[in-house]
C-alpha cells in the first residue's frame, strides 16, 4: 500500500498573490523564486496573456517540512462556511491564562496584517481556548 508523504493546501481566492503573502506572514513561509529565466514574478506574469496574469501563486515552508500552499483565482466569492480550515498551532502545550494570552497576542499581530477575529472561545471542561479568525479574503482558520 502506498503512503502519501506530501500534500499541498489549495485556497480559492480573488487575489492569489495578496492572500499568499498574508499566509507567508502568518506561518513564516516564503515565496519560491520565479520560474527559470525570470528575475521576478512580475516579469513572469508580464509574459502571460492578460486573463492568466496573477491567476495563481504559491508559498512554502522554508524548512521543507510543512505543506506547500497554493492559491488560485476563482471568479466567485466565498458564500458558505469552509468545510476545511487550518488550525495555526501557536498555543501548543500551553493551558489556561498563559495559552489565552499567547493566542490573543498572535490574534492582534494577525489583525494588523488584515485578518479578522471572529470569536474568542475560552476554555471549558472539554476544550482549551482557541480563537476563530478569517484571513484577508474571509477564509476561516483558528488560532489553536
- Cell readout for 127 is 476544550
Cβ atoms of 129 and 143 within 8 Å: the answer is no
Please give the pLDDT value at position 17.
Answer: 95
Grid cell 477564509 is found at: 139
Grid cell 500534500 is found at: 7
Length of the chain: 144
CA distance 29 to 49: 28
Handedness of CA 49, 30, 35, 85 (dihedral sign): negative
Mind listing the domains of the chain with CATH numbers?
8-73 (no CATH), 86-143 (3.10.180.10)
pLDDT in tens, the chain (144 residues): 677 677 899 999 999 999 999 999 999 999 999 999 999 999 999 999 999 999 999 999 999 999 999 999 998 777 777 778 899 999 999 999 999 999 999 999 999 999 999 999 998 888 899 999 999 999 999 999
Cβ contacts of residue 133 below 8 Å, gap of 6+?
107, 110, 115, 116, 117, 118, 140, 141, 142, 143
Give the pTM.
Answer: 0.86
Please give the pLDDT value at position 1.
Answer: 67
Coil/strand/helix, residue 29 = coil
- Cell readout for 139 is 477564509
DSSP per-residue codes, 89-125: -SSTT--HHHHHHHHHHHHHHHHHTT-EEEEEE---S
Amino acid at each position: 500500500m502506498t503512503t502519501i508523504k506530501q500534500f499541498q493546501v489549495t485556497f480559492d481566492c480573488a487575489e492569489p498573490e495578496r492572500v499568499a503573502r498574508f499566509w507567508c506572514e502568518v506561518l513564516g513561509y516564503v515565496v519560491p523564486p520565479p520560474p527559470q529565466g525570470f528575475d521576478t514574478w512580475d516579469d513572469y506574469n508580464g509574459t502571460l496573456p492578460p486573463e492568466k496574469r496573477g491567476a495563481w501563486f504559491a508559498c512554502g515552508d522554508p524548512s521543507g517540512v510543512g505543506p506547500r500552499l497554493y492559491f488560485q483565482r476563482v471568479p466567485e466569492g466565498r458564500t458558505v462556511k469552509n468545510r476545511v480550515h487550518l488550525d495555526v498551532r501557536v498555543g501548543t502545550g500551553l493551558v489556561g491564562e498563559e495559552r489565552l494570552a499567547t493566542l490573543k497576542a498572535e490574534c492582534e499581530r494577525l489583525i494588523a496584517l488584515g485578518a479578522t477575529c471572529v470569536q474568542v472561545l475560552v476554555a471549558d471542561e472539554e476544550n482549551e481556548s482557541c480563537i476563530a479568525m478569517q484571513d484577508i479574503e474571509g477564509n476561516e482558520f483558528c488560532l489553536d
